[in-house]
Amino acid sequence: MSIAPLDSTVYGSLFTTPAMRAVFSDEGRLQRMLDVEAALARVEAKLGLIPVEAAKEITAQADVAHFDLVSIGQGTALVGYPIVPLARALARACKGDAGRYVHWGATTQDIIDTGLVLQLRDGLDLIGQDLEGIEAALAGLARRHRDTPMAGRTHAQHALPITFGYKCALWLAPLQRHRVRLARLREQVAVVQFGGAVGTLASLGADGIGVMEGLAAELRLAVPPIAWHVGRDGLAEVASFLGLVTGSLGKIATDVTLLMQTEVGEVAEPHQEGRGGSSTMPQKRNPIACEFILACAKNVRQQVAVMLDAMVQDHERATGPWHAEWIALPQAFALTAGALHHTRLILEGLEVDEAAMRRNLDMTRGMISAEAVMMALAPHVGREQAHHLVAAACDRAIGSGRHLGEELRADPEVSAHLSGDRLDQLLDPGNYTGLAAQFVDRVLAQGPDSSD
């Protein structure tokens, strides 16, 4: 029986991916803890703290498939931490005396936190793969539509012409920055946790630093200068990064949703039979992937708030904030994976209607190019007067339903300085996209293959 949509057979595929679910599943979580226990035993054996044969046996038995998860769950409900019943089960599974050396010198949070770090590393790798795919798709769209004119919109109204490639480049630039953030974050989060009861490694005495450094090397993690049992800024930064990523994806989803409106119709999500359909209206093609991106993004933001709140921890071990992370981080990763999946699906198959873009450019009968006329007229009559003349012509065009060019030609103060041919040139929106194409090129130059 499932309550949460992320774990639901019905809803699960809408909000996350099987790969990310596997990373944060019970099996994935416990296996990473077992990986830490096994690595700890191997390091301590190398340092002569426990028998080599014990370490070999612990490693051989540290497989989640060997354990009854129901029993582990029952023990967790009793103790409050999964590592206690898990370590006991691992010790019982070991032959001979090996079991007595399980969890040697460690504390519960050492194993859980380091196991979490291994999960985060795997989760960030999956996020990186999808970010690369989305970046490639957006770069392709920006390159293909570098010079495709469309209406730029501010305050939900037509503003000035841009190109669709420029819009795609606006979507792409934050994702390029996320790629850089992710590379840095991978290094910052990949840090071992090993401090014993209060972080001082008192149980291992002079051998403590050696065990910590060996454990880090065994797991390919960095060594912190001090235990981070209550220093949770790194985990909060991970969550914040997920919030930034899904915020950028939400921006894309919002734009695509608006561009898919019947009255606009400039782009569409990739279509397949029945996708985004209505139970009553046969004609509907709803922006269903966009809707789930937005839903995922909204929920990730709430988990970011939880992780920031969980930074406020008491003394050397927390009484509650740590446990809140167990809920927030897996959900944030799962939902981010879902948003990335839907975004990649949209962008790799996005349907672009260039004819609709041109039709919408023309719907205001030349007025989207009013600034171009004003700027051409300004050297002759001054900017303020030019603005006044063109604004008055726009008002007349709105009232009469005529093309702006007709109203401008009929104004002697305008026609005295701008010929009919010059007005036609100025009122063609394709001639007033500014440096849109050059900005596309600048963004594309920031891509991962830009040095080739």
For the annotated catalytic residues, the residue numbers are 155, 278
**Beta-bridge partner residues of 161:** 151
Q: How far is CA 89 from the centre of its chain?
A: 37
Q: How far is CA 193 from the centre of its chain?
A: 26
3-class secondary-structure state, position 420: helix
Contact 232, 311 (CB under 8 A): yes
Contact 247, 303 (CB under 8 A): no
CA angle at residue 49 from 83 to 61, to 5 degrees? 45
Report d(CA 316, CA 332) in Å as an integer: 26
Say which amino acid occupies 336. T
Query: Residue 87, exposed/middle/buried by CB under 10 A (0-12, 13-18, 19+)?
Result: buried
DSSP structure class, residue 191: B
| φ/ψ of residue 80, rounded to 5 | 105, -5
Query: Dihedral sign, CA of 257, 246, 300, 5?
Result: positive
Q: Where are the beta strands (DSSP E) in 330-387?
A: 351-352
Contact 230, 316 (CB under 8 A): yes
Q: Scanning the structure block, which residue is given the tokens 């014990």?
A: 54
Query: Residue 83, exposed/middle/buried by CB under 10 A (0-12, 13-18, 19+)?
Result: buried
Residues 6+ apart with CB under 8 A from 356: 264, 265, 266
Query: Residue 70, exposed/middle/buried by CB under 10 A (0-12, 13-18, 19+)?
Result: exposed
CA angle at residue 30 from 25 to 31, to 5 degrees? 95
**Beta-bridge partner residues of 149:** 163
Q: What is the DSSP string of 2-42?
A: --SGGG-TTTHHHH--HHHHHHTSHHHHHHHHHHHHHHHHH
Q: Give helix then strand counts, H and E, for the chain.
A: 19, 4
